[in-house]
A and B are shown apart, each in its own frame.
Chain A
Amino acid sequence: MRRIEAKEAHIKPLPTPDLDSQAYWQGLKDGRLLLQHCTDCGHVQFYQQAICRQCGSETLEHRAASGRGIVHSFSVVHRAPGPAFKQDTPYAVLLVELAEGPRMISSLVGGDPMAVQFDMAVELVCETISDQVVLPRFKPTRR
């Protein structure tokens, strides 16, 4: 097991794309949230991988999601998981159910975290973190 060193704990963890997910992270840099559609069984999946989780097919297409979804569940973090997130509290971690079906973890931008409600409509915001990383966040929207 890897030990977390003290100075490392002050840096926010950022995603490192792998061979399965390069298109996904590139898509966000282009302002699109890509989902995988199985051309054999029609299953739509998040996250990107080499096979369809439903039927095992390897014929998968990337298609941009509408970016709309609802809050399936949420939790507002008041005690940060380590020093890197301390200045952000309170922040709302969202379990977003996308209009296309899949769910994903994200966090709220542009709204009061304590005003988040179940089934609240949200919309994708592509937030540039660095030259390399754009994170998919969500803001409140009208249905």
Chain B
Amino acid sequence: MANPASGAIARQRSIRGQVAIVGAGRSDVGRVPDKSVMALASQAAKAALADAGIERSQIDGVLTSSAFAAPFHRFSVAFSEYFGVVPTFSNTLQVSGATAATMFNIAAAAIAGGLAENVLVLGADSLLTGLSPDLALRSMTESRDQQYEMPFGIPVANTFAMTAHRHMKEFGTTAEQFAKVAVIHREHAMRTPGAQMTTPITVDDVLNSGWVTTPYHKLDCSLISDGAVAFVVSAADRVGACKAKPIYILGGGECYTHEHIFLMPSLTTTGAVQSSAKAYAMAGCSPKDIDVAGVYDCFTGTVIMMLEDLGFCPKGEGGRFVDDRQITYGGSIPCNTHGGLLSYAHPGMPGSLLHFLEVVQQLRGECGQRQVTGAELGLVHSLGAGFATQATTILGTEATL
């Protein structure tokens, strides 16, 4: 039965400002041959706890992604055992690249609902040294459907490539504009300690780096890395107990438009439109209010499409927007100031958590020569599986509450 009051009540339900990221840390990232996935995970978790200034025993919730190189069915449970914690709330989440953001959404909802007080959000994998390159690639293909996609030799890269290709046809986006995304990400990585790729590159270098899957060249594609990232998420009224500057979750939105690439409603407009609209509405802000962003950059064209769907520029203008250097310092929305998946590191599921780490550190004002001056409001957009999974998170300092 429709209850006239239920809509009003539903509108009041929100995670806005209810929880904060009170601790953040990472393991060694890049090529880390001497550490297992669990060792990387522990290193990141210890760093996040130390950052928050809380004890291991205070963690009562553990949310993780899964790991290709440590294929536990219940990674969050296996990690809890390894790390020596006994959570009373835990799950291992899997919506590909969007998993990062969904962990924060679920942590926030769990804390708001009284299921946990201090949730450890964690992603770890060892794609570079824990798997041979062939197996790492094959692992990526295995995520496509075994009946209708895999038999045709379709890597995940290929699904993203087909969307970018169509974007070129519909909007005149060029290979040079894609390449510019890679060039700017490399510039950013050169300022970031620990980045995997720090040699400067040009548009020509990208165009001459050899085809992977058209229209993408090698340097249009993100890296393969090892690494782990962890956060402590706590109730907003408990942040005083932690030593780090709290960064609040102001809005979260997700959208899942399809599973198979052939059922994607439009190849050039994605579910990021819906996920970001929901996040902006919850946060009570608009794209022009965002000071710094982490935008999932598994491929160069992905960034261009997301700049449009997240509302940073009009549909079809993403290529020109990048050409005008609007995604770096001095532009309208500095993105992936750490260098992103393209040049900092891409350890799989933890990759998008590195975007969260960078935006949190930007909002805390801890980024040194990478600092975006006066950053108070940040956005992270995670996605995966050929744009099948989309999640937008808006983060802010205490001043934005």
Interface positions of A (Cβ within 8 A of B):
1-4, 6, 9, 12-18, 21, 46-47, 72-85, 88, 90-91, 93, 95, 102-107, 118, 129, 133, 135
The interface residues of chain B lying within 8 Å CB-to-CB of A106 are 152
B137 lies within 8 A of A82 (CB): yes
B213 lies within 8 A of A73 (CB): no
Q: A6-B132, A90-B211 are in contact. List 16 more A-B contacts (CB 8 A).
A: A1-B66, A13-B146, A13-B151, A15-B147, A72-B166, A74-B214, A75-B214, A78-B212, A80-B153, A81-B138, A81-B156, A82-B138, A83-B134, A83-B138, A93-B152, A93-B154
A21 lies within 8 A of B151 (CB): no
For the complex formed, measure the closest distance between the CB of A42 and the CB atoms of chain B, giving whole angstroms.
18
The interface residues of chain A lying within 8 Å CB-to-CB of B72 are 1
The interface residues of chain A lying within 8 Å CB-to-CB of B260 are 47, 105
For the complex formed, measure the closest distance between the CB of B89 and the CB atoms of chain A, giving whole angstroms.
22
Q: A13-B146, A74-B165 are in contact. Are A103 and B263 (CB under 8 A)?
A: yes
> B271: CB under 8 A from chain A?
no
A103 and B263 CA atoms in complex are apart in Å by 7
For the complex formed, measure the closest distance between the CB of A92 and the CB atoms of chain B, giving whole angstroms.
9
A81 and B158 CA atoms in complex are apart in Å by 9
The interface residues of chain B lying within 8 Å CB-to-CB of A21 are 147
Choice from B66, B68, B155, B262 contacting A105 with Cβ under 8 Å: B262
Choice from B132, B147, B267 contacting A16 with Cβ under 8 Å: B147
Interface positions of B (Cβ within 8 A of A):
66-68, 71-73, 94, 132, 134-135, 137-142, 146-158, 161-163, 165-166, 169, 210-216, 260-263, 267
What are 25 inter-chain pairs, A to B, with CB distance below 8 A? A1-B67, A1-B68, A1-B73, A2-B142, A3-B139, A12-B151, A16-B147, A47-B148, A73-B166, A73-B169, A73-B267, A75-B214, A77-B154, A77-B158, A79-B213, A81-B141, A81-B154, A81-B158, A82-B134, A84-B138, A93-B213, A95-B267, A105-B148, A105-B152, A118-B169
For the complex formed, measure the closest distance between the CB of A125 and the CB atoms of chain B, giving whole angstroms.
13
B267 lies within 8 A of A72 (CB): yes
A9 lies within 8 A of B135 (CB): yes
The interface residues of chain B lying within 8 Å CB-to-CB of A93 are 152-154, 158, 162, 213
The interface residues of chain B lying within 8 Å CB-to-CB of A81 are 137-138, 140-141, 153-158
For the complex formed, measure the closest distance between the CB of B257 and the CB atoms of chain A, giving whole angstroms.
13
Return the 7 tightest CB-CB contacts between A and B, nearest first. A81-B155, A82-B138, A75-B161, A78-B211, A81-B141, A85-B153, A15-B147
The interface residues of chain A lying within 8 Å CB-to-CB of B165 are 73-75
Choice from B71, B140, B147, B153 contacting A18 with Cβ under 8 Å: B147
A103 lies within 8 A of B262 (CB): yes
A76 lies within 8 A of B148 (CB): no
A4 lies within 8 A of B135 (CB): yes
The interface residues of chain B lying within 8 Å CB-to-CB of A12 are 151, 153
Choice from A4, A6, A15, A91 contacting B142 with Cβ under 8 Å: A4
B66 lies within 8 A of A77 (CB): no
